[in-house]
Each structure stands twice: as C-alpha cells, then as structure tokens.
Structure 1
Amino acid sequence: MSTMENAAATAAEDQEIEEYRPHRKWYRRPDIMVPVLLILLVYALLVGYVESPNFFRTKMEAPSGLVNFDWMWFFHLIPLMLQGLLVTIKGALLGFAVAVVLGLFFALGRRSKLPFVSWPVIAVIEFIRSTPVLVQLFFWLALERTIPVIDLSPIALLMVGLGVHYATYCSEAYRAGINSVDKGQWEAATALNLSPVTKWTRVVLPQAVPNVLPALGNYLVAAFKDAPMAFIIGVHGVLFFADQVAAETFRVTEPYLIAGVGFLMASLPAAWAVRQLERKIAYERV
C-alpha cells in the first residue's frame, strides 16, 4: 500500500472516530454553562440589588421653553432613566422566567388526553390571550388587595402578571415545536420502551426547543415593552420616570425620547442573546 493510500485510510479512520464521538453533556460544555451562569448571576443581582425608587427628581433646573430640544438636559436625564430601566428589566426578566416555565406546563396540559385536564387549560389559555395585559395587571392588583393573605410587592405583581400572560403565548410556541418533532422519533422512543420522562427530556424537548427559540425571543422583547405599563400598580420603572419628569418640568420630549432609548438598550441585547443561544444549541436540530 502506498503512502498516499495509508494517509487516506488514516484520515478516514479519524473521520469515523470523530463522527461517532458522543456529544458531551450540556452541563459539561463551557460554551453553554458560562452563559447560563452569567444569566443566573444577572437574575441574582437584579433580585438582590435593584430597588424601585420612590421618585425621580432632577438636580438640574429644566430649561425654559416648551419647544426647543435641549441636548444638555437630555443627557442629564440619563442616570435617572437608567434607574427606572433597571426596575423595568427586573420585572420583565422575572416575569419572562415564569412564562418560560409555566408555558411548558400549559403546553403539556393542553396535549393531555384527559379532558378534565386539557379543557380547563385550553380555556385558561384562550381567555388570557384574549384579554389585554393592562386589564390583567389591574386584576392581580385587585386580587392582592381583596385577599388579606396575599401580600405581594408591586414588582412581584408585575412578575405574576407578565408571567401568566406570556406563559399562554409561550405554550402555543412550545406546542408548535413539539408538533414539529418527526413522528418517527415518537415511535422510536416507544419502541425502545423509554419512560415518559426520558422520552420528553432526551428525545422530544431537545428537538422542539430550538425550533421555538425565535418565538420566545420575540415574547421576551414584547415583555420589555409591556413591563413599563406596571407603573399603574406601583412599579416605578422607566415609563414612570418619564411621566414624573414631564409632570414636574412640563417638558415631554426629552424624558419620553430617552425612555425610548432605554427600551432599545434592553430589547436589542435580549434579541442578540436569544440568537446566540439559538446558534449554540443548533446541533439539536440534526
């Protein structure tokens, strides 16, 4: 056998070994665990250190006039806007965490073959999806004030309101992803006599979740845009900052414009992070 043939055979063997090398567990992959730990750290910092301010008071006298745009006044409002933005990000991320987990249970409940399980879940999903989130926030506030046992802070009410609202949308995304799994995968899991937990965690969800990540990313961005409405239940976020500054100074252009910049500062990194996560776990689609 010539040298070239030996080299070709060796390369083929190496390729075969590489092809059949098993994937490492997700918790042993630094490219997955490092972002997960960073996300957990962000959640811990938001929960532990971000507090809702009682008021937003500027230290600089507002410029005179109601028409001309003042750049110095605009940049002066940035620190106050960031305080309100952190509160908004905290409420949106906590609510979305609830939505991602609760939405999966909604999707599984809707797929149940037991009518007394699937029908109530379907009714809840359709009812919540058909009512605006603003009305639902008022409902949770009224429920908290009606039942003395329930004593939740405004940010906790926002977390519950956004979480339940977007859980219904996430459940539909999960349902579409689960339905996209090939029928042969279900039959193979049944033929191998896999337990329901193993079938869902090792076969179905690893193939379904990558397909729904773009939709989940859209819901995360939408949650950032809906979270500022929680000022009606006492959450002093970025929209409350703009309202208070505009009411005190009678200048509306600068505070609302910088509030819009704050929305971009929150939404664009979130959308980028979801795209990176989708790329990291794309191998599950194969």
Structure 2
Amino acid sequence: MRPAIDFNTFWDWTAAAEVLPELLTAFVQVTLLVTVVGTIIASLVGLLLAVAVQVLPVWLSKPLRWVMDFVRMTPLIIQLIFVSFVVPSGWLPLLWVGTVVIGVHYSTYMAESYIAGIASVDKGQWEAARALSLPQARTWRDIVLPQALRATLPSLGNWTISMFKDTPFLFAIFVVEMVTTAQQYGANTFRYTEAFTIAGLIFLAASLVTAVAVRKLEKSLAY
C-alpha cells in the first residue's frame, strides 16, 4: 500500500508568507511598472507607425513596413540583450532600457492591429470626408481614428497582457523582476514551489483584472 502523500512536503505556509512580500514588491516596482509604461509607449508608437504606413508615399512606407516586420519577427530577448550592450553603461538604467525595448517591440504588434482597425472603417466615411473638403488631419482625428480604436481595443488589450507575461525576459539584462525574485528565493531556501506558485497566481490575477478592464472599456466605447 502506497504511503499517503504529506501536503507539507510540497507546501510550506511559512515560506509562502515569507516570499509573498518580496514578490509583491518586485511586481509593483518592476513588472507592473514595465507593463504600464511599456503599454503607453507601444500604443502611442504603434499608432504613429500605423498612420505613417497609411499616409507616407510607397518609397517610405515600404521600408518602414520592413523595419516593423524585422522588429516583430526578432525574438524579444535578443533585442533586450543587443540594446543593453549598445546603450553606454550608466547612460540609462537597465530597467528603463528594457521598458523601452519591450514598448517598441510591442508597438509593431499594436501597429498591425491599428492598421486592421483603420482598414475596417467604411470607405464611404473617407468619401464623405472628401466630399465635405475636410482636411486630412481632421478626417483622421474625428472620423477614422475613433472608429479604428473601437475596433482594435480588444486586440490592444491582448497585447498588453502578452507584454505583461513577457516581462520575465528582463532577467537577460540583469533586471530583477518577479520571476527572477522567485527563482532567487528558491535558490536560497530550496522552496521553489511556494515562490513560483505565488508568482504565477499574481500573474493570473493581474491578467484577469486587465482583461475585465478592457472589456468594460470596450462596452463603454460601444456605439
């Protein structure tokens, strides 16, 4: 007869209580900060890229698309390592180097979502704007972009959650975020189960909150 499995062998509530404050601190100071700032960078740069692709002449928009494809198709961890070596030591903290790299990387994904949203705007809207002799800037600001943003909001929310889950790649440039904190705690105490389980639950909770917030925002912007 097999001996009963002792739950205390796999889980120690004392270790869980000890590591929780460390993980929450790393989450707020690094993981959440990088995600919020990175999302702002990605959403703004992505919007600029999407509009630029639409309005620039072909000889400029085509090379821009090549650059976007290159950034999107290159692994994020490689970009983090490369840029961390290129940026002069001491010129910018590695935390902010990683934040900018992640933001720019995801801006190419968000740009594609914006482009799809712009394409979803009915052609009659463009024709009506031309018939009214509206300036191009006003057409984009008052007619095209509001409709495109409503269409792309769910996709942008998904990219934000993906960015949030990619923050552990910051370990490659020696930025100690939540997962690295869990790993370090496990290495020091040999209690990996508690550290990584709690880190995973924090990721899950934050992702669920983000998803719910995006859905509510989507409903509030619905026609």
Structure 1 position 281 matched with structure 2 position 207: no
Residue 113 of structure 1, CA deviation? 4.6
Match of 1:223 in 2: 163
Q: Give 1:135 deviation, angstroms.
A: 0.8
Aligned to 1:205: 145
| Residue 91 (structure 2) aligns with | 151
Provide the rounded CA distance (Å) in 1 between the counterparts of 2:48 and 2:158: 20
Which structure shows the higher helix fraction? Answer: 2
Alignment of 1:247-258 (within 5 A): 247-258=187-198
Residue correspondences, number: 215
Shift >3 Å, 4+ stretches: none
8 Å CA contact 1:242–1:256 kept in 2: the answer is yes
Q: Secondary structure, in 3 states, of the residue corresponding to 1:193?
A: coil
Contact 1:95 1:158 in 2 (8 A): no
- Partners of 1:104 and 1:170 within 8 A in 2: yes
> For the pair shown, which has the larger CA radius of gyration, 1 or 2?
1
**Where does residue 185 of structure 1 map in the other structure?**
125
User: Deviation at 1:75?
Assistant: 2.6
Taking only the aligned residue pairs, the percentage that are identical comes to 41
SS in 1 for 2:71: helix
Q: Distance in 2 between matches of 1:181 and 1:83?
A: 43
Contact kept in structure 2, 1:185 and 1:203, CA below 8 Å: yes
1:255-283 CA-to-partner distances (Å, cap 9, x unmatched) read: 11111011123211111111111111112
Residues 95-174 of structure 1: matches in 2 within 5 Å? Answer: 95-145=38-88, 151-174=91-114
1:53-110 deviation line (CA, Å, top 9, x unaligned): xxxxxxxxxxxxx953212321332111100111200011111110000001111122
- Structure having greater relative contact order (Cα 8 Å, sep ≥ 6): 2
State how far apart, in whole Å, the 2-side matches of 1:186 and 1:117 are: 23
Counterpart of 1:123 in structure 2: which amino acid?
W
Q: Is the 8 A contact 1:84 1:241 kept in 2?
A: yes
Listed as ranges, the gaps of 5+ residues in structure 2 are: 1-7
- What's the secondary structure of 1:232's corresponding residue? helix
CA distance in 2, matches of 1:84, 1:279: 33
State the superposition RMSD in angstroms: 1.6
Query: For the residues of structure 1 that align with 2:134 and 2:78, how far apart are their CA atoms?
Result: 44
